Amino acid sequence: MSSKQPTESAPGPITAKAVLWYIPNQIGYMRVLTAIISFFTMANHPVMTGLVYTVSCLLDALDGTMARKYNQVSSLGAVLDMVTDRSTTSGLICFLCYKFPNLCVILQILISLDISSHYMHMYATLSSGGSSHKQVGKESSRLLHLYYTRRDVLFTICFFNESFYGGLYLYGFESYKTFGKWVLLISLPGYIFKQVANVIQLQRAALILASSDAANANEKAKSN
């Protein structure tokens, strides 16, 4: 009889299908579903919309935790998370523009800032060799470093940002006007923080890309 102990077979290679069904990515798909449901309920069912939005925020906090717990961090998950955040907020702001036409231009500017700053920052970080747009050194920006490296800060600021728009949404319904006003006032400091962070990360992204362009131009000049 052989004295060799049985060994566990090595796991097979990870497939694209496996990544698609990572637990945090499944949570991301659930967030997409909650966004679609909220679009259908937004015009006439503020309570249902608020509940769906709350579920979406909780799921947003959960996906990153699950990714780290099960070692299922993926580029798909990171992009899905950011795109879902921006798309859900954009959908709500579309409705707010309809509900508050006098605020339409301001809301358009703010959502444009939100989308462009996140896209440019992610593109600049990845094109310069970084692995995540959330990796920001303290020497680069103390505010962004605090925002992206402290998960409690990130979740709190994002929660208040969404709460601000949620408060404005509730303010548009007569039955919830007072409650919506208080939500607006309570979430305002966090909302302002988020807009400042968007401006800083847009500026940082532009500087990273411009520095890269300058370095490439200098390399070409040397070779000529």
Residue 99, Cα to own-chain centre: how many angstroms?
Answer: 25
Sign of CA dihedral 203, 59, 165, 191: negative
Please, are residues 107 and 52 in contact by the beta-carbon 8 Å criterion?
no
Query: What distances in angstroms separate CA 37 from CA 11, 31, 75, 115, one per listed residue?
Result: 39, 10, 26, 22
Residue 219, Cα to own-chain centre: how many angstroms?
Answer: 36
Please, are residues 63 and 24 in contact by the beta-carbon 8 Å criterion?
yes
Sign of CA dihedral 35, 44, 112, 205: negative
Q: Residues 63, 81, 85, 114: which is the catalytic one?
A: 85
Query: What distances in angstroms separate CA 101 from CA 36, 52, 172, one per listed residue?
Result: 23, 25, 11
Please, are residues 34 and 63 in contact by the beta-carbon 8 Å criterion?
no
What token pair was written down for 81? Answer: 């998370």
Grouping H, G, I as helix, E, B as strand and the rest as coil, residue 164 is helix
- Is 85 designated active site? yes
Distance CA 64, CA 70 (A): 10
Task: Give catalytic residues, as residue numbers.
Answer: 85
